[in-house]
Amino acid sequence: MTASRPTDPAAHERLYRSLRSRIMLGEVAPGQAMTLRGLARDYHLSMTPAREAVRRLVAEGALSLSASGRVSTPELSDERIEELAALRALIEPELAARALPRAHFALIDRLAQMNGRIGDAVERHDAVGYIRCNLDFHRMLYLRAQAPAMLAMLETIWLQLGPTMQALYGRARRNEPPRHHRMILAALRAGDEPALRLAVRADVTHGLRLLTAG
């Protein structure tokens, strides 16, 4: 009895979402090799849904696929990291500004609580927890922008950067939540769009510069 039918759309969707999440959260290292056969085995699937899930992730830039069937996460050059950081610096302040009119106090309080969970992850030296909470902090705010196409584009950028985030966490030597998050929260409370744009831009570019320094 097979674990899934080759034509079962839910099978490839399950693998796609699981692997996509692992890559975005930095659980898969840059250049880490996989095989279609290995992925199918690990997720108890046939080759067809594994191939379809990988095809989607290759199209999003999260994986590369060689002619021999070798699958791996890309190792980003400094130039590519700088390009993706520049895209974040363009998109994220705009999303934050669009969210500002709908950033009620209850949302700001939830963001502050999320920032506290980031601090908890720092104390535990939990890199994946830190990355997850950090992305959740930003996503929670940007969902209020009501700009789904822009947010989908941003998530693709986050996905491509995911495997580099472990390296960033180690180099940043975090011992507290990102200081720019406090600036973001203060700007939201004040309804100050220029300050919000500045804080978000500083937050998304500061850390990535560490990856290309030296």
- 3-state SS of the chain: helix, strand, coil percent to 5? 75, 5, 25
Catalogue the E-assigned strands of the chain: 33-35, 64-65, 70-72
When the candidates are 3.30.1490.20, 3.30.420.10, 2.60.40.10, 1.10.10.10, the CATH number that belongs to 9-72 is 1.10.10.10
pLDDT in tens, 151-180: 999 999 999 999 888 777 766 566 666 789
Domain with CATH 1.10.10.10 in the chain: 9-72
To the nearest 10°, the Cα dihedral for 154, 158, 161, 166? 150
Is 128 or 187 the better-scoring residue by pLDDT?
Answer: 187
The pTM of this model reads 0.87
pLDDT at 176: 64
Number of H-type helices and E-type strands within the chain: 10, 3
Question: pLDDT at residue 2 above 50?
Answer: no
pLDDT at 94: 98
Task: Name the token pair of 169.
Answer: 């966490």
Which pLDDT band holds residue 4 (cuts at 50, 70, 90)? very low
Is 30 or 90 the better-scoring residue by pLDDT?
Answer: 90
Task: Name the token pair of 125.
Answer: 């030296």
Burial (CB < 10 A; 0-12, 13-18, 19+), residue 113, is exposed
pLDDT in tens, 87-143: 999 999 999 999 999 999 999 999 999 999 998 888 888 888 889 999 999 999 999
The hierarchical CATH code for the domain 78-212 is 1.20.120.530
Q: 127 near 169, Cβ under 8 Å?
A: yes
Summary mean pLDDT of the chain: 88
Question: pLDDT at residue 149 above 90?
Answer: yes
Amino acid sitting at position 196? L
